[in-house]
Chain A
Amino acid sequence: MDAYTVLIYFLPLGALIAGAAMFTGNLLSIKTKESAHKREAYECGEVIIGDARIQFKVGYYLFALLFVIFDVESLFLFPVARIFRGQVASGLAPHLLLDLAIFVVVLSLGLAYAWRKGALKWD
């Protein structure tokens, strides 16, 4: 049960950190008047006022989906890269390299398919 009681401490700790961040932000930031400009979305992003059920470009979704390919790729590449040097001596390194190559090729085939189907065209 000890491992779980630790979790309880996270509750006030989380509130404290979040609260402290907001408080410091409030303390340090320059106060400006409320204006229409201030309520605009920061950098990119959708308009935040009005009906949420608007049609937005499906391209956002497709790009995000394809981005996941790279995400997953790095997710699996990093741990292997971390232990790779240690495996050279044991002779497992070529094996690992081959496995990773197959993995990357399969993922790239997915990307190539989407590319050829025109998923990366933004218009």
Chain B
Amino acid sequence: MSLYLILSILGALVLLSSLGRGKRLVVPLAIAGLLGALAVTGMGLGLDHPLLKGMAEFDRYAVLFSCLLLVLGTLVVLLLTNPNERSDIPRVEMAALLLFSLTGGIMMASFAHLVMLFLGVEILSIPLYILAGARKRERAGNEAALKYFITGSFATGFLLFGIALIYGATGSFSTRAIAAWAEANPAVFTPMFHLGLLLMLVGLAFKISAAPFHFWAPDVYEGSPSIVTSFMSTVVKVAAIAAFYRLFSEAFPAAADAWSWVIAAVAALTLAVGNLGALAQRSFKRLMAYSGISHAGFLLLALLSVGPGSAGALWIYAAAYSFATLIAFVSLLAVEAAGGGESLEALSGLGRRNPFLGVCLTISMLSLIGVPPLAGFFGKLFVFGNAVSQRHVVLVVFAVVMSAVGMAYYMRPIIQTWLRPPAGSPFQLSTSQAWVLGIATAFVVLLAAAPVWVMRFL
């Protein structure tokens, strides 16, 4: 609970400081607070006592995912300090809203009660509806905010109705009690329970932008300011998949026969839509949106193999994906600040305009493809390995084919970066951008050393 409190008090402090004269101190304050929260989370390791009368639990899973979310959140807030960024965005309010949203994400990684899951989803989403429209005078921003709000509330409706039906069937909101109920009534088809399961699945599939509930993602990602998009495609995606896995592995393992084929179908469709859709994109931002959809498909594979090692595989995959994606968005921000647009052509000659940025972007794209020895490779290795051990061989073969398709579009930014003539003069990165790039790239490279440790830990 202390973590929820720290983050929400921090958010309120940041918001209130915008009234006084301390505007310049806001982002440093937020970052110091986030690092403090990270330390608190790290120290809470192994003390997995239930919180709030058993409604939340900081077990190892929750702590590892909270740490990931906090690191990603800190990096995004760090990007807000960039002086090159256009000044028409309300920086202080954005920092506060990002912190509130992060609080929701951490609740989603640590819930043990469906009410906490619902609250987490809402606390994560509502600030983002506002953030998507942070540039309130721009049409695209308004469209993004409205689309995100409407589809998001739609998804919430599904989730809430699902929770209600599960409560009706099992008589409890607690994941433990639901799991016990499902174990006691294994083979019986209960319409209320199974419909509730399906509706919750749909609600969460919306949030991780899995097909066929992905249609909002490209438009919303494109219309939002790039900083907000970087938050959506990293923190939000990680929080949503963490909640998805936590829900299905803790509450519904006994009903796996009922949901595993649905997840398999959704994963296959998501992989196809994400990867084939990305091939047709001309804009780098939309390309990354489709990349996010395709990785949702890979992440769903981890749900199919719930068991020892699968949570570790999910964590490694999520971390590899989100750090690489963050690098891509920092590149986009830097290119935008240097006068370029969002198209792939704006990246041309990036390697000569700013070699450091070019190298980082290349590493990120290679990791997203899954080239060894980068983090993305280990993520795919473990997720695929687990899925094969659960006899989902056909699906894994399909996923491997789809990641080969992925190579076709992830190579395009690399080709633009190194083999095309520069689209402009060389430019400098701001200090904060350089830091974020350095840290994220270090994670993408060094996570390769961590898999064994993470797998043993989770």
Contact = CB atoms under 8 A, between A and B. Distances in A.
B173 to A, nearest CB: 20
A116 B12 contact: no
B43 interface: no
What is the predominant secondary structure among interface residues of chain B facing chain A?
helix
A109 interface: yes
A55 to B, nearest CB: 15
Contacts of A116: 19
Interface string B17-50: 0010000000000000000000000000000000
B343 to A, nearest CB: 35
B19 A106 contact: no
Contacts of B19: 113, 116-117
Contacts, number: 9
Interface residues on A, range: under 10
Interface in A74-123: 106, 109, 112-113, 116-117
Nearest to A115: B19
Contacts of A117: 19
Nearest to B96: A113
A104 B401 CA distance: 57
Interface string A18-47: 000000000000000000000000000000
Contacts of B12: 106, 109
A99 to B, nearest CB: 13
Nearest to A117: B19
A113 B12 CA distance: 10
B166 to A, nearest CB: 18
A62 to B, nearest CB: 14
A116 B15 CA distance: 12
Nearest to B20: A116
Interface residues of B, number: 4
Contacts of B15: 113
Contacts of A109: 12, 16
A113 to B, nearest CB: 6
A106 B11 CA distance: 12
A61 to B, nearest CB: 14
A109 B13 CA distance: 10
A22 to B, nearest CB: 33
B439 to A, nearest CB: 32
A70 to B, nearest CB: 19
Contacts of A113: 15-16, 19
A116 B92 CA distance: 15
A116 B19 CA distance: 7
A109 B12 CA distance: 9
B7 to A, nearest CB: 14
A112 B16 CA distance: 9
A40 to B, nearest CB: 33
Nearest to B12: A109
A112 B20 CA distance: 12
A107 B19 CA distance: 16
A78 B130 CA distance: 31
A112 B19 CA distance: 10
A109 B16 CA distance: 8
A102 to B, nearest CB: 11
A7 to B, nearest CB: 15
Contacts of B16: 109, 112-113
Interface string B152-196: 000000000000000000000000000000000000000000000
B94 to A, nearest CB: 15
A106 to B, nearest CB: 7
A27 B68 CA distance: 69
A61 B140 CA distance: 23
B95 to A, nearest CB: 14
A106 B12 CA distance: 9
Interface string A48-81: 0000000000000000000000000000000000
A35 to B, nearest CB: 40
Nearest to A116: B19
B328 to A, nearest CB: 35
A106 B16 CA distance: 11
B66 to A, nearest CB: 23
A106 B100 CA distance: 14
Nearest to B8: A106
Most buried by B among A106, A113, A116, A117: A113
Contacts of A112: 16
A97 B239 CA distance: 35
Contacts of A106: 12
A113 B14 CA distance: 11
A109 B18 CA distance: 13
A63 B238 CA distance: 36
Given A113-B15, A113-B19, A116-B19, 6 more contacts: A106-B12, A109-B12, A109-B16, A112-B16, A113-B16, A117-B19
9 contacts: A106-B12, A109-B12, A109-B16, A112-B16, A113-B15, A113-B16, A113-B19, A116-B19, A117-B19
Q: Return the 3 tightest CB-CB contacts between A and B, nearest first.
A: A116-B19, A113-B15, A109-B12
Interface of A: 106, 109, 112-113, 116-117
